[in-house]
Amino acid sequence: MLLLQANTTALFNAVDLQLIAPELILTLCGCVALVMEVVLPYRKSKLTAYFSLIGIALAALSLGVQWWYTDLPVTGFYGMVRIDGFAIVFKAIFLIAASLAIAISTRYLDIEGEQHGEYYALVLFATVGMMFLGCGYDLILLYISLELMALTFYVLVAFTKREKRSNEAAMKYFLLGAFSSGVLLYGMSLLYGVAGSTNLGEIGQEVGRVFGSIAADPASDLAKLRPMLLLGMIALAAGLFFKIAAVPFHMWAPDAYEGAPTSVTAFLSTGSKAASFALYARILFEALPSMRADWAPLLGLVAAITIMVGNWAAVTQENSKRLLAYSSISNAGYLLLGLVAGNSYGYTGLMIYLLVYTLMNMGAFGIIISLRRRGIIGDNVDDLTGLAQKAPAMAAMMGIFMLSLGGLPMTGGFIGKYFLFGGLLERGRTDGKSWYYWLAGWAIINTVVSFYYYVRFIRVMYLGDRVADDQPLSLSPALQTALVASLVGIIAIGVYPQPLIKIVQKLVAP
C-alpha cells in the first residue's frame, strides 16, 4: 500500500541507500568478481578471493560507520528495512563468517582444482542475502533474501562438480530446501491473511489486537482467527526448523555437510544458520510476540529433542564432517534455547553463541581442510591421529576449538552457553513455570554427551603414539590467519567477554 503511494514521488531517496550501503558494496563486489573470473587467467583466479576480502572489509567499514554515526534504530524503504542493534550484530557475524569462509577456501579450491572466481561471487551474494535477513522488516523482503541465500548455497554445495557426493548433497539440499521454502511461504501468507500487511511491525500489532480481544472475550468473532494464526505460526516454525536443521527436519544436514566442499560446509553451518536464526528471531519477536505462550513450548520441545538427537547421533560418527554436522544440529538446539528464553540473557546468549559458534566451527573446518591434499580425503576423525606430534600448534588449536564447542570455561563456548542457560532459568522465574528449569537441566546434561565426541578429536590427536602419516599439512597464509583469528576470538571472548557482552547488550536492549 505504502509502496503505491510512494510511486508518485520517488521510490527511494539517497538516505535510504545509505542504510543498505554494506549490502550495495557487497553486491557490487560480487558483480565485479564475476567479471574478473572471465578476464583473469585460471592460475590468477585467486586474486578474486583477495578482491572479495577487500569488498567484505569495505562492507564492514560501512557497517561500522552506520553503527557509529546513526541514531539506531532507523527504518527505510517505507518500513521494509530496519537497521537496529539486532541487525548490526547479525551483519557483523555474517561478515566475519564470510571472510573466514573465503580465507579457508582458497587453498582448498586449489587442491580440488576448482579455483573459480564464481565461487567467491556466490559467497558474496549469499552474504548479501544473509545481511538482508538481518535488517529486513517485511515478509516479502525476508523471503526474497532467504531465497537469495538458499539458491547460492545450492550452487555452492555442488561446486566440486566432478565429485559425486557433492552433486548428491546439492540435490538433496535443493529438494528439501525448496520444500521448506514452500512451507515457510505458506505460513507467511496465512499471517498476511490475518494482518493484511507484510510489515512485521504491523503484523505484530494486528496479531496483538486479535489476541487481546480473544483474551477479553473468548467468544468474540476474532477467536476464529486463532486456528489460522496457529497454523501460520507452525508452518513458519517448521520452515525455519528445516533451515536451521532442527529435529525432525534435520535429515538433509548430515548428507549435505558431508558431501559439500569443506569450505562450503563451514560457511553453510555458520553463516546460513546464523541468518536463519536472525529471521526466526525477527518473526517471533516482532510479528508474533503475543503468541509466545504458543510458540515457546513448541520451540522448547523441539530444542530438547534436537539437542538429544544431534548429540547422540554424533557419538557414533567416523567422518569428521558428518560428526560436525550432527554437532551443528545439536548446537541449533542450544541456540533455540535463546529464543525460548526470549529475555535479555537469552538474546545476548543467542548472539554471543552464534558469533562464537561461527569462530569455532570455522576453525574446526579450517583444520580439516589443512589435512586435505590430493589423494587423501582427510575428513575422517582418524586422519587426525598423532597430529600433536606432527603439528603441535594445529593440534592445540583444534583441541581448543573442540573444547569450546563443548563449552569448557575460559573458552567462548562457555560464555555463550552460560547466557543461554541463564536466560532459561530467568524466564522460568519470571513466568513461574518449572518446565524451563527442566529444559535447562536436560540441555546441560546433554553437553556431557557432546564432550564425549568432541574429546574424541583430542584423543586421536594426543593420546596415542601413532601418527596417521607424515606428509606436511596443506596450509596457506590465508588459512593460517583465519585459524589464528578464530582462536584469538574464542580465547578473548572466553577470558574477557566484557566488551562483547556490553556491546551486544547495548545493541539488543529492548
Binding positions for other proteins, rule: CB under 8 A: 388, 403, 408-410, 418, 421-422, 425-426, 429, 437, 440-441, 444-445, 447-448, 451-452, 455, 459, 462-463, 465, 496-498, 501-502, 505
> Among residues 373 and 433, whose Cβ is nearest to other proteins?
433
CB of 493 vs other proteins, minimal distance in Å = 11
Looking at 60-127, which runs of residues are DSSP E strands? 74-76, 81-83
Cβ pair 255, 158 in contact under 8 A? no
Cβ pair 169, 157 in contact under 8 A? yes
Q: Which three cell numbers stand for residue 35?
A: 567479471
> Among residues 122 and 403, whose Cβ is nearest to other proteins?
403
Torsion of CA 272, 277, 278, 282, to 10 degrees: 150
Cβ pair 475, 107 in contact under 8 A? yes
> Among residues 111 and 410, whose Cβ is nearest to other proteins?
410
Neighbours of 510 (CB within 10 A): 6
CB of 411 vs other proteins, minimal distance in Å = 9
CB of 500 vs other proteins, minimal distance in Å = 9
Written as one letter, the residue type at 118 is E
CB of 222 vs other proteins, minimal distance in Å = 37
If 0-12 CB within 10 Å is exposed, 13-18 middle and 19+ buried, where does residue 452 land? middle
Cβ pair 329, 246 in contact under 8 A? yes
> Among residues 239 and 386, whose Cβ is nearest to other proteins?
386
CB of 509 vs other proteins, minimal distance in Å = 11
CB of 310 vs other proteins, minimal distance in Å = 17
Q: How distant, in Å, are the alpha carbons of 232, 396, 436, 480, 499 from that of 184? A: 9, 42, 27, 39, 37
Task: Say which residue the cell 584423543 belongs to.
Answer: 459
Written as one letter, the residue type at 440 is A
Q: Which three cell numbers stand for residue 132?
A: 538482508
* Distance of alpha carbon 329 from alpha carbon 159, whole angstroms: 23
Radius of gyration of the chain (CA): 22
CB of 479 vs other proteins, minimal distance in Å = 23
> Among residues 298 and 425, whose Cβ is nearest to other proteins?
425
> Among residues 102 and 403, whose Cβ is nearest to other proteins?
403
> Among residues 80 and 449, whose Cβ is nearest to other proteins?
449
CB of 49 vs other proteins, minimal distance in Å = 34
* Distance of alpha carbon 395 from alpha carbon 413, whole angstroms: 18
Cβ pair 333, 304 in contact under 8 A? yes
CB of 272 vs other proteins, minimal distance in Å = 29
Neighbours of 433 (CB within 10 A): 15
* Distance of alpha carbon 236 from alpha carbon 233, whole angstroms: 5
CB of 311 vs other proteins, minimal distance in Å = 13
> Among residues 137 and 345, whose Cβ is nearest to other proteins?
345
CB of 502 vs other proteins, minimal distance in Å = 6
> Among residues 212 and 441, whose Cβ is nearest to other proteins?
441
CB of 406 vs other proteins, minimal distance in Å = 9
CB of 422 vs other proteins, minimal distance in Å = 5
Please list the alpha-helical segments (H only) found in 245-291.
252-259, 262-267, 273-282
Nearest residue to 325 via CA among 253, 270, 272: 253
Cβ pair 348, 505 in contact under 8 A? yes
φ/ψ (deg, to 5) at 173: -60, -40
> Among residues 151 and 400, whose Cβ is nearest to other proteins?
400
Cβ pair 144, 99 in contact under 8 A? no
Q: How distant, in Å, are the alpha carbons of 16, 278, 413 from that of 300? A: 38, 18, 21
> Among residues 268 and 504, whose Cβ is nearest to other proteins?
504
Q: Write down how long the chain is.
A: 510
Q: Please, which contacts does 11-14 make with residues 24 or more away whose CB atoms are closer than 8 Å? A: 12/76, 12/77
* Distance of alpha carbon 443 from alpha carbon 18, whole angstroms: 42
> Among residues 292 and 459, whose Cβ is nearest to other proteins?
459
> Among residues 378 and 422, whose Cβ is nearest to other proteins?
422
